[in-house]
Amino acid sequence: MRVSQDVLSVLDRATCEGNALSLVALGQLDRKLYTDTNKVLEAAGGKWSRKAKAHLFDGDAAEAVEPIILTGEIVSRKVEFQQFYTPPDLAERVIAAAGILPGMWVLEPSAGRGALAIPALVAGGQVDCVELNRANAEHLDEADRFDVVCCDFLTVASERQYDRVVMNPPFYGRHYKLHLDHAVRFLKPGGVLVCILPATAHYDHGTTIGRWNDLPVGSFASSGTNVPTGYCVYHKPKA
């Protein structure tokens, strides 16, 4: 999404303090200019707070708007990170399919805010998380119930092996295939991996492993996408 020069000028002159971006010092903006600026800030992850009289971000506000000022473009944070979080009912289905037992070591790559990690913990698992988005990683770390690594999962070495891997990788392109293949390396012999994927991974590209299960139409509507989905259940051979 291209950003107009007028909006870029506003962003460049805005005041950023921590996670807050304020336009107050700029005085009264033209209504259309303010509306256009607000759309860009919301797309970047900012949310207007009447109390703070500023747009608040999950992380540092300056870091959120700097790429926009430099490139003149904005990509929705949800689209950029493909953050289509797993709805609670689907998370329960995934955890049930994984068959997590108390004391098992569980990995959730691309953990988001723990949609799968939390029910895995409730099931008795000892859960490790990998999450690229710093704000999400900090959110998980604050719970002090997970071992959280903030980085791209594809860069993590498979030094530790897990009894279970539960995952909802990025949907864009066929990037999910890289995540799925990499996740298998973390699975112990005899372990189980459950992975949510777009239905095209199975029906069009044949890139799934294990047993495929369709999910109902609109399963991710509450998370911002109507992409048809399903999940595969893979049992790694013991030998």
Residues 119-166 have pLDDT tens digits of: 999 999 999 999 988 888 998 988 788 999 998 898 899 999 999 999
Predicted local confidence at residue 74, as pLDDT: 67
Closest listed residue to residue 115, CA positions, set 88, 140, 93, 95: 88
d(CA 136, CA 115): 11
Predicted local confidence at residue 96, as pLDDT: 96
Residue 4 has pLDDT above 70, yes or no: yes
Count of alpha carbons within 13 angstroms of residue 79, beta-carbon side: 7
59: DSSP letter: S
* Pairs from 64-72 (Cβ < 8 Å, separation ≥ 24): 64/21, 65/11, 65/14, 65/16, 65/21, 65/41, 68/3, 68/8, 68/11, 68/40, 68/44, 69/8, 69/11, 69/12, 72/2, 72/3, 72/5, 72/8
